[in-house]
Amino acid sequence: METESMGDALRRLLAENLKLQQKVFELEGKLRQYAEAADRDSTRFLNIRKLIQQKDQTLEQRAAELEVKQAQLEETVRQLEKRNEQLQLWMATLKLYQDLFEQDPEALLALNREGRVLLYNRKAEEMTGGKIREAIYRPIEEMDCGAFDPALPGLVREVLSTGRPCERIATAGGRRIVLRVLPVGSGAAFRGVLVRVDVAPAS
């Protein structure tokens, strides 16, 4: 009876040992699962951290680019303001010259380097009966020069070619006509010619 009791006890111990081993295996399995989950979470965390660092670097780069563009924009604004001041000064100067141009008692014509009519004053318009309006931006050869002197186109071309002023005095229809063709600028700064026409009764 004692041997059987010891056998039963041994069997119980073995059974309990198997149960304990099974529980240990189960606990080890769960531990492995937790470790794997922790590794996955850790990897996910590292990836998120790297992504945040990349985003931070991108934002810093964009911020630096924006600072450079802002500096460029500020410099452009300063240049535009300076050009605007220069333009205002140029417009005021042009207005002054235009006033002087209009008040001149002689008929005046301004032509560019190609011999095209750019400007004329009120006296020139009066002498041509307004026909000079049709000549604006056209070559001098296409302008009706009857009110001045038919030789005017040739004189203009001569000054455009030589860069030297010339003068012609003629009498027609009881009038004394003095043509003066003057170069505007010289060398690389040559801009065209200015024609002055003085008409007076012939003496």
Convert the pLDDT of each residue in 142-178 to its tens digit.
988 777 888 899 999 999 999 999 999 988 777 888 9
N-terminal to C-terminal alpha carbon distance within the chain: 172
More confident call, 3 vs 122: 122
For the residues 4-12, what does the mean pLDDT come to? Answer: 68
Phi/psi at 28 (5° precision) = -65, -40
What CATH fold (topology level) applies to the domain 105-201? Beta-Lactamase (3.30.450)
User: Is residue 1 over pLDDT 60?
Assistant: no
For the residues 54-73, what does the mean pLDDT come to? Answer: 85
- Residue 196's pLDDT band, with cuts at 50, 70 and 90, is very high
Question: What is the pLDDT, as a whole number, of residue 7?
Answer: 66
Question: What is the pLDDT, as a whole number, of residue 183?
Answer: 92
User: Is residue 139 over pLDDT 90?
Assistant: yes
What average pLDDT does the structure give for the chain? 83
Question: What is the pLDDT, as a whole number, of residue 11?
Answer: 74
For the residues 12-28, what does the mean pLDDT come to? Answer: 77
User: Is residue 179 over pLDDT 80?
Assistant: yes
With contact defined as beta carbons under 8 Å apart, do 125 and 133 qualify? Answer: yes
More confident call, 49 vs 134: 134
Question: What is the pLDDT, as a whole number, of residue 26?
Answer: 78
Burial class (CB in 10 A: 0-12, 13-18, 19+), 89: exposed
d(CA 189, CA 177) in angstroms, rounded, equals: 30
User: Is residue 81 over pLDDT 80?
Assistant: yes
